[in-house]
Amino acid sequence: MNPRPIDYNSKPILIFWEATKACDLACKHCRASALLEALPDEMNLEESLSFIEQIKGFGAPYPVLILTGGDIMKKRGLEEILKRTKELGIPTSMSPSATPLLNEAAFEMMKKYGVKSLSLSLDGASSDTHDWLRGYLGTFDKTVNLARSIISEGFTLQINTTIFKRNVHELPQLLKILLETKVKTWEVFSLIKTGRGIDREDLDPQAYEDVFNYLEFASRYGISVRTVEAPFFRRIMIEREKTTYNGGPLYSKLVEETVTLLGRPADKTKGHTSQTRDGKGIIFVAHNGDVNPSGFLPIKLGSVKEKTISDIYRNNETLVSLRDSKNFKGRCGACEYSDICGGSRSRAYTYFGDILQEDPRCVYIPESMKALNSAK
């Protein structure tokens, strides 16, 4: 029996809350442009608790609240916030930074208030790459050690990786590390030009096609793969059910190296294919209460200080427009995968200044356009 489809017009499945911009790291690609100390307009404890109460407006089962930053461990009043989410029955996940603040005491607090899953960022298979990106020596080793600790403490751990030119060839070695560490979920981000985003490191469209086809292959080793700002991964997953991928040299090299390291995969693909995208199934709340379609699409839709999050999500005209793929332009508008995928709205915005334009990093030509070109 298939589960009932989710009505993304009614509620999201994930609420990302950038509870603070404070962080002790200085990551070169940081979406939040994090700072050492919280900004003066950060929501105080009373405002934060009021926002959490608003989530009840979606009705049970509630969306998952993902506490992020900055470094969530630097959020003032964090314990009171976690206590309230537990009291209300709001499922809560956390995305802390790999700093000394993430320690035994922090783990005990999380367990006390029902946090079951965490995510850490690991952006390379070596300290040379990861520490370069994160801005501090020793962060790679600390992250790997923390990953082992988190899993041994009984939490579910997701590893987040942003792909870019400098680390793309390390993906097979990184996969090996994740499997050896017993990580169950790998969430792979494509680079978006926002915050401190290092757009000079962005991949070209064919490289993205090779990489995300490689990730479909990598998921066959028993790790669940999800993507952020690359919804065309869903189109790739559907295509791989029908045909093999005869990709470019980058794909071939990554597959060959992975087989050398790990042998041939034994499992079926475990790619994650829920049909969410910016503003559809996910929503983002900034440190000051401003609401955006996602953390990579900095368009203000309202503020939770003035309207409830459920009201903004359900009724904001921009969000309503984003959730209807019939409004998309260019190849995304003509594409037979427009609702399943829909392209990265954030990337369309950064390239064209138009949230409804096509995704410039997708290589796919829709069937309707192929037929039109053939008819000419």
pLDDT single digits (tens) 33-46: 446 677 899 999 99
Between CA 132 and CA 59 the distance in angstroms is 43
Residue 128 pLDDT greater than 80, yes or no:
yes
pLDDT at 197: 47
pLDDT at 27: 56
Between CA 248 and CA 250 the distance in angstroms is 6
Residue bearing tokens 């693909």: 269
Question: Which pLDDT band, with edges at 50, 70 and 90, does 1 fall under?
Answer: very low
pLDDT at 268: 81
Beta strands 290-292; 282-285: pairing state:
antiparallel
Higher-pLDDT residue of 354 and 195 is 354
pLDDT at 256: 97
Q: 10 Å Cβ neighbour count for 100?
A: 9
Torsion of CA 119, 120, 125, 126, to 10 degrees: -170
Higher-pLDDT residue of 271 and 176 is 176
Between CA 219 and CA 146 the distance in angstroms is 23
Question: Which pLDDT band, with edges at 50, 70 and 90, does 199 fall under?
Answer: low
- Mind listing the pLDDT tens digit for each residue in 139-173? 899 999 999 999 999 999 999 999 999 999 999 99
Beta strands 14-18; 224-228: pairing state:
unpaired
Domain positions in the chain: 14-262, 327-376
pLDDT at 80: 98
Cis peptide preceding 70, ω within 30 of 0: yes
Most confident residue range from 32-46, 171-185, 186-200: 171-185
pLDDT at 21: 92
* Residue 355 amino acid letter: I
pLDDT at 16: 98
Residues whose CB falls within 8 Å of the CB of residue 243, separated by 6 or more in sequence, listed in order:
none
Mapping DSSP to helix (H, G, I), strand (E, B) and coil, where does residue 239 land?
helix
Rounded CA Rg of the chain: 20
pLDDT at 273: 65
Q: Are 177 and 124 a contacting pair, CB within 8 Å?
A: no
Global confidence as pTM? 0.92
Cis peptide preceding 293, ω within 30 of 0: no
Select the CATH number that applies to the domain covering 14-262 from these four: 3.20.20.70, 3.40.1410.10, 3.60.20.10, 3.40.50.20.
3.20.20.70
pLDDT at 183: 96
Number of H helices, E strands in the chain: 14, 10
pLDDT at 33: 46
Mapping DSSP to helix (H, G, I), strand (E, B) and coil, where does residue 146 land?
helix
Between CA 222 and CA 175 the distance in angstroms is 11
